[in-house]
Structure 1
Amino acid sequence: MINDSSRKRKFKSRSMGVIVLLTAAAVLASACSAPGAKGAATVQLAPKAIKTDVIKKQKISNPIEQVADVAAGTTLDVVSKAGGEVTEVLKKRGEYVEKGEVLFVIDNKDALSAKRKSELSVRSAQESLQQAKDSKVNNRKDLADNVTRSQTALKNAEQEYNKVRNEYDAGIAVQHQVDQSKQALDSAQMNLDAAQSKLSAFDNSDSISAIQTQAESASLNLEDATRSLENYQVKAPGNGILTDFNVVVGQTVAAAAGKVGQVQQIDPIKIKTELTETNFLLVKGKQELIYYNPDSPDKKGTAKISYLAPIMSAATKTYTLELEVPNSDHLLQPGNRFMVQLTTETEEQVIAIPTLSIIREESDTIVYVQQGDQYQKRKVKLGRINGEYQEVIEGVKDGEKLVTAGQNTLKDGQKVDTASASAGPQATTTPAAK
């Protein structure tokens, strides 16, 4: 009973308080609205003054960066062109090697034997060739001498024949003697023709061609054997770091086994990364970019763009970017990660305007610019935001006057009111009539 009475008293007191407040509010309202009421006041807000500010470039953000991998400029395979047991290993994995340096040696006993046999074959073929040449010279001399003797015999036969004919005409010789002289002349002519034919046939023949071919073949075999012997010393195909190299003494290598190591060329070296379409547009058309090691961001370098993929990869949906960096001191090593700046500090200085100066009209973004003696309405294309400023991609220019206050009261083409433009925002209070 006591609790119920207490609750009723509290409720009653609260209700009375609410009624008192409502009554006071009603009295105050009627007093303010009554004409001629003493102590009443009226507050009126003046239109916000129009202010302008010169549009200028500002830093919208830090340069856009992307992680990139350091990779070898070119990778060359180390391949053994000969097979056999490894007898000596001169270089280790991870060492810097220069082109032509011997990496390891293969047992070359069989190759040395093959070379020796080729040398003997060459010597034998050359001796045979020389003998054939000498024989050819001697044989031709014999044939030429035979032609000379036949010519002399023919001349003598002609003289004898002419003598007998003269004697026959003089009645000294008989017909039988003339016939014998004629037969001797014909025989001498036939002997000369035969000798000349043999000499001509000899000159037109090539009796040493086959032997000369054998000698040349033997020389080629010797060259092959010599070159093959060089393959038993496996050399570095270029300058760079020797990697993937695990050859040991006693190991048997085969020519058909493929590569036994790689040489990664690191001067120049490459910095590679994959760009999204947005970042690709930031780089497109540039010749060089800034790069740096994230462990020492104060030390930055500039590298030439050696490759920028013209089309997107169908697999990764990215564009490959490669920078070429001189690396004569070999400080850059494949496998490291660097940062590449896709934009510069200068590029991040853009036209930016206060976000409060922008008006939203449905899907459009509007600003007002003072153009001469009037205010001009502009559509703008906006970009990134940095604090109270937003980047303008299209619509206004550096140096124009932007309306930064009072723009909501303007209309396109409205004349500039000097007095209104210079007045600041203010509130006037009209005192109540006494």
Structure 2
Amino acid sequence: MINDSSRKRKFKYRSMGVIALLTAAAVLASACSAPGAKGAATVSLAPKAVKTEVIKKQKISNPIEQVADVAAGTTLDVVSKANGEVMNVVKKRGEYVEKGEVLFTIDNKDALSAQRKNELALKTAQESLQQAKDNKVNNRKDMADNVTKAQTALTNAQQDYNKMRNDFDAGTAVQHQVDQMKQALDSAQMNLEAAQSKLSAFDNSDSISSAQTQAESASLALEDATRSLENYEVKAPGSGVLTDFNVVVGQTISAAAGKVGQVQQIDPIKIKTELTETNYQLVKGKQELVYYNPDTPDKKGTAKISYLAPIMSAASKTYTLELEVPNSDHQLQPGSRFMVQLTTETEEQVVAIPTLSVIREESDTFVFVEQGDQYVKRKVKLGRISGEFQEVIDGVKDGEKLVTSGQNTLKDGQKVESASASPAASATPAAK
């Protein structure tokens, strides 16, 4: 029974095959015997016609962007140079302060007392100095008068001596009298020389230097006391936002404790980010970049590049980028985040060609361009893809004619005329 069933199935399949062949033959016969038909035609597909387009620049993508942090341009520490109890707090954390504004005051009673003592010491020293100057003037005047008197006495002694010599020559005076007059003249001469020597020594001495030194020392001490008194008013070291500031009335402040707050300067303010090697190459050599707040993308600004690290950080493997932004209206605040455009709209307008125009041969890519009366095969270096177009980094330029269709039928250097002839469909007559 099994053999009978197998034979029946084989017969059935063989019969179906014969029927199919007969049906196909019938259809072919009817086609050949159709009215007006002289024979069947076998159609061969024609190659695509060669078409060209002018290469143009077009937008390949939006500008490349990166998130950046808004940071203070400079951060200055608020420190106290005095010790004591806080008497008054003028500013609060988060307020904008101007350079030199008082932030808080410290009890300055001891400093005021020290200043007053130094004022009195300076006054005393100045009085002593003035007295020394007056004494110097008076003493010099006395010495100068003594010199004048000695000169007059010497003149008189000289005249008396001369007269006595005349009398001695006339025989009216004796030698003893002449000798007395000579001694008086010598004595007057020595008195004059002594007076002159004292005056010269006085002029060469500085009788007021000690008093002058004391006065200058007292003046410096007063300046120190006054400057120290100013330290009891702790002022903002710069203009900016006051942060990390928690001073309260009654608190004891110590100069050795270090900073009690910070002032973050926000005009100008900085926008900072870290660049990878690839993005670093996009920014290198530029002077400014576009930035914007992601909440208001339509409002964009341009900022100067204030710093671009020349070498990669060994720790982060990135390059630090800083932009400097004027911020006179204080709209930009530290801690917020902005977007920085590493490329411009213009840079994103690149030479691009249809992806289907590219011929790929192993790892290389080529296109055909119409150059004069020939089609020339060019090797191209491709970049980014946008839809049906791909960026061309090297190989062709805008304005050239690119073969966009039929490039697979061309040969390098083929004449334009020979390729422009459209091949007709060929027909093979059927046997009668």
TM-score, normalized by length of structure 2? 0.91
| Mapped partners of 2:7, 2:192: distance in 1 | 165
Per-residue CA deviations over 1:95-145 (Å, capped at 9, x if unaligned) read 111111100101111111110110011000001001101111111111111
8 Å Cα contact 1:50-1:422 kept in structure 2: no
Structure 2 residue matching 1:42: 3-state secondary structure = coil
Higher mean C-alpha displacement, 47-56 vs 390-399: 47-56
| Mapped partners of 2:416, 2:217: distance in 1 | 102
Letter of the 2:148 partner, please give it: T
| Pairwise CA distance, 1:429 | 5.1
Q: In the alignment, which residue of structure 1 is the partner of 2:237?
A: 237
Structure 2 residue matching 1:324: 3-state secondary structure = strand
Q: In the alignment, which residue of structure 1 is the partner of 2:420?
A: 421
Label 1:219 to 1:25 Cα distance change in 2 as closer, same or farther (>3 A): farther
Label 1:22 to 1:235 Cα distance change in 2 as closer, same or farther (>3 A): farther
Q: In the alignment, which residue of structure 2 is the partner of 1:432?
A: 430
Q: In the alignment, which residue of structure 2 is the partner of 1:307?
A: 307
1:134 aligns with 2:130: no
Q: In the alignment, which residue of structure 2 is the partner of 1:122?
A: 122
Q: In the alignment, which residue of structure 1 is the partner of 2:13?
A: 17
Residues 22-421 of structure 1: pairs in structure 2 closer than 5 A: 24=20, 41-417=41-417, 420-421=419-420
Label 1:385 to 1:324 Cα distance change in 2 as closer, same or farther (>3 A): same
| Pairwise CA distance, 1:54 | 1.1
Label 1:10 to 1:102 Cα distance change in 2 as closer, same or farther (>3 A): farther
| Mapped partners of 1:118, 1:165: distance in 2 | 70
Structure 1 residue matching 2:238: 3-state secondary structure = coil
Letter of the 2:137 partner, please give it: V
Per-residue CA deviations over 1:273-311 (Å, capped at 9, x if unaligned) read 111121122222222222111112122222222222222
| Pairwise CA distance, 1:150 | 0.9
| Mapped partners of 1:317, 1:255: distance in 2 | 40
| Mapped partners of 2:162, 2:403: distance in 1 | 138
Higher mean C-alpha displacement, 306-315 vs 153-162: 306-315
| Mapped partners of 2:115, 2:162: distance in 1 | 70
| Mapped partners of 1:22, 1:162: distance in 2 | 184
| Pairwise CA distance, 1:315 | 2.2
TM-score, normalized by length of structure 1? 0.91
| Pairwise CA distance, 1:374 | 0.2
Unaligned runs of 5+ in 2: none
| Pairwise CA distance, 1:209 | 0.6
Letter of the 1:395 partner, please give it: G
| CA RMSD of superposed structures (Å) | 2.7
Label 1:278 to 1:190 Cα distance change in 2 as closer, same or farther (>3 A): same
Label 1:44 to 1:138 Cα distance change in 2 as closer, same or farther (>3 A): same
8 Å Cα contact 1:48-1:426 kept in structure 2: no
Per-residue CA deviations over 1:25-50 (Å, capped at 9, x if unaligned) read 69979x99xxx999765332223321
Unaligned runs of 5+ in 1: none
| Mapped partners of 1:178, 1:194: distance in 2 | 25
| Mapped partners of 1:314, 1:105: distance in 2 | 46
Structure 2 residue matching 1:187: 3-state secondary structure = helix
Letter of the 2:305 partner, please give it: I
Letter of the 1:17 partner, please give it: Y
Structure 2 residue matching 1:93: 3-state secondary structure = coil
Label 1:82 to 1:148 Cα distance change in 2 as closer, same or farther (>3 A): same
Structure 2 residue matching 1:417: 3-state secondary structure = helix
Label 1:252 to 1:393 Cα distance change in 2 as closer, same or farther (>3 A): same
Q: How many residues align?
A: 424
Structure 2 residue matching 1:68: 3-state secondary structure = strand
Label 1:22 to 1:100 Cα distance change in 2 as closer, same or farther (>3 A): farther
| Mapped partners of 1:11, 1:203: distance in 2 | 157
Letter of the 2:117 partner, please give it: K
| Pairwise CA distance, 1:317 | 1.8
Label 1:266 to 1:428 Cα distance change in 2 as closer, same or farther (>3 A): farther
| Mapped partners of 2:11, 2:271: distance in 1 | 80
| Pairwise CA distance, 1:330 | 1.3
| Mapped partners of 2:126, 2:72: distance in 1 | 51
Label 1:317 to 1:11 Cα distance change in 2 as closer, same or farther (>3 A): farther
| Mapped partners of 1:217, 1:124: distance in 2 | 12
Structure 1 residue matching 2:352: 3-state secondary structure = strand
8 Å Cα contact 1:122-1:222 kept in structure 2: yes
Letter of the 2:243 partner, please give it: T
| Pairwise CA distance, 1:254 | 1.7
Label 1:386 to 1:160 Cα distance change in 2 as closer, same or farther (>3 A): same
Higher mean C-alpha displacement, 39-48 vs 408-417: 39-48
| Pairwise CA distance, 1:265 | 1.1
| Mapped partners of 2:233, 2:15: distance in 1 | 112
Per-residue CA deviations over 1:346-374 (Å, capped at 9, x if unaligned) read 22111111111111223321111000100
| Pairwise CA distance, 1:430 | 4.1
Label 1:202 to 1:317 Cα distance change in 2 as closer, same or farther (>3 A): same
Per-residue CA deviations over 1:191-226 (Å, capped at 9, x if unaligned) read 110000000000110000111011011011111111
| Mapped partners of 2:68, 2:324: distance in 1 | 12
Letter of the 1:143 partner, please give it: M
Structure 2 residue matching 1:320: 3-state secondary structure = strand
| Pairwise CA distance, 1:422 | 6.2
| Mapped partners of 2:326, 2:421: distance in 1 | 60
Letter of the 2:51 partner, please give it: K
